[in-house]
Amino acid sequence: MTRDLGLKLRLTQLVTGCVTQKALHARFKQVNPQTGYEPERAYKWVQDRATPRDPSVFQDLARVLDLPVTGETVRSCSFEEFRRLVEARHGPAPAIVSRPAPGGRSEPRPVQPPEAAALPGYLAGQYLAFSMAWSSLHAGRMIFAALTLEPAADGGLYAVYAERLPGGDLVLEGPLMRMGRGLGTMLRHADDDLFIFMSFRQPVAPALVLTGVMTGSAYHDADARPIAGRVHCVRVPEMDGEALSALTGYREPCSGAVARALRDAGVKVAGMDRLAERVVATISAPAPTGLIDTSVEALHLLSRPLYDAAG
């Protein structure tokens, strides 16, 4: 039986300094040019959604880390046993934490930097994020996304942002940090050189809405042009990750689509249609000065009905 492969691979990435699966694949190629380690499949291995069919992958993993054990030992040992083997060879390993993932599995997360420890715990939760689509192929449409802020071992928070795109799910992640009275996170894709930076106003408890600006490079765009836009994230009741992902993707820029998604996510608020209209209006409004920001007025317009509903 293969045990804790996702955790083992994440620890390997941290020890070797390989941020992406492509970089880790290059390490495997160094020890075995014919390695069965494939970046496209490794994405699922890290999430414990699949395991290698080629048993030599585990022997290659032992060689990448210079472990004095067989591939069978690497495959069948527990994560704690694997960690001890790694630390005996490379010294204290970077601390990681585990979080429940869809399907009941767990994935490791780097322990957050000290700045994140000051974050209030009430920010943690699941949100539906609404913004205008960046891709020129979907110009004028909206993108619905899932934003999850999850607790880290040191009291900080870790952000996972996911969009369901025509070519598959796009998932980016990174630590959330406090910046004065604001919040910021640099989200990166695990396998490609993709990133999004998000900046929010820090809301009062219980953080029913996050408003801010996001910037990066358009993913489905021939020129991969730098771009920025407003983003509004509405807290939703805790739900299964797959169910939340099913609500994401490209949508027409209409309040009806926003209202349906929020209702399907279990959000209950009087005046839902008016709230949805405000979401569409504020994220699609042009920036008359050449700058994009999110005003306090926009925050109040969106948060007031949500806080009224929360009592």
Distance CA 163, CA 245 (A): 7
pLDDT at position 7 over 70? yes
Domain boundary among 94, 110, 126: 110
Structural domain total, the chain = 2
pLDDT computed for residue 299 by the predictor: 66
Biggest CA pair distance of the chain: 64
Choice among 48-52, 147-151, 232-236 with the minimum mean pLDDT: 48-52
Predicted confidence (pLDDT) at residue 232 exceeds the cutoff of 80: yes
Answer yes or no: are the C-beta atoms of 306 and 208 closer than 8 Å: yes
For position 135, what pLDDT does the model report?
A: 82
Task: Give percent helix, percent strand, percent coil of the chain, each to the nearest 5.
Answer: 35, 30, 35
Q: If 0-12 CB within 10 Å is exposed, 13-18 middle and 19+ buried, where does residue 288 land?
A: exposed
Give the distance from CA 30 to its chain's centroid.
30
Is residue 236 within 8 Å of 205, Cβ to Cβ? no
Which of 95, 110, 125 finishes a domain? 110
How confident is the model over 139-185, as pLDDT tens digits? 899 999 999 998 765 567 888 898 888 877 888 888 888 877 889 99
Question: What average pLDDT does this structure show over 6-30?
Answer: 83
pLDDT above 90: residue 46: no
What pLDDT score does 205 carry? 82
Domain that holds residue 89: 5-110
Residue carrying structure tokens 């490791």: 108
For the ranges 9-23, 90-104, 143-157, 237-251, the lowest mean pLDDT is seen at: 90-104
CA dihedral for 240, 5, 84, 160, sign (positive or negative): negative
Across 102-130, b (16+ Cβ under 10 Å) vs e yields eeeebbbbbbbeeebeebeeebbbbbbbb
The long-range contacts involving 28-32, CB below 8 angstroms and separated by at least 24 positions, are 28/57, 28/60, 28/61, 28/64, 30/64, 31/60, 31/63, 31/64, 32/56, 32/60, 32/63
Instruction: Cis check for the bond before 206: say yes or no (omega within 30 of 0).
Output: yes
141 and 227 in a single domain? The answer is yes
Q: In this structure, are 93 and 129 located in the same domain?
A: no
Clarify whether residues 195 and 135 are in a common domain: yes
Measured distance CA(309)–CA(174) in Å, rounded: 31
Same domain? For 92 and 121 the reply is no
Place of tokens 């027409």: 252
Q: Do residues 149 and 278 both lie within one domain?
A: yes
Q: Provide mean pLDDT across the span 236-241.
A: 86
**Spatial CB neighbours of 29, under 8 Å, sequence gap ≥ 6:** 35
Q: pLDDT by residue (tens digit) across 174-195?
A: 888 887 788 999 988 766 667 8
Among the three residues 110, 135, 163, which one is the final residue of a domain in this structure?
110
What's the CATH number where 297 sits? 2.40.128
- Average pLDDT, stretch 197-224? 84
Same structural domain, 96 and 200: no
Q: Residue count of the chain, please give it.
A: 311
